[in-house]
Amino acid sequence: MEVLIIGAGIGGLTLGLMLNRAGIACRIFEAAPELKAVGVGINLLPHASRELCALGLEEALAKVAVITREYCFFNRFGQFIYS
């Protein structure tokens, strides 16, 4: 038996690596014909960073990361909610 993962985004690929590490067979399916940079940033919250660090990716992440100084939320009218 194997796990099927639909989507080779950051979540799907991370799941595939974690399953592989645990000795669980998996296959990853992706609709896009190739994986490539799309020019956007991804904000990784601490719990997500912890999982990537557990895979041994901390040094690689540190080389390309922009450390978040502040994280703020506003409503649709631009009114501050919290930070």
This model's pTM is above 0.85: no
One-letter-per-residue 3-state SS of 2-53: CEEEECCCHHHHHHHHHHHHCCCCEEEECCCCCCCCCCCCCCCCHHHHHHHH
What pLDDT score does 69 carry? 86
Mean pLDDT of residues grouped by 10 in the chain (83 residues)? 94 96 97 86 88 94 89 94 95
Domain borders along the chain are 3-33+40-82
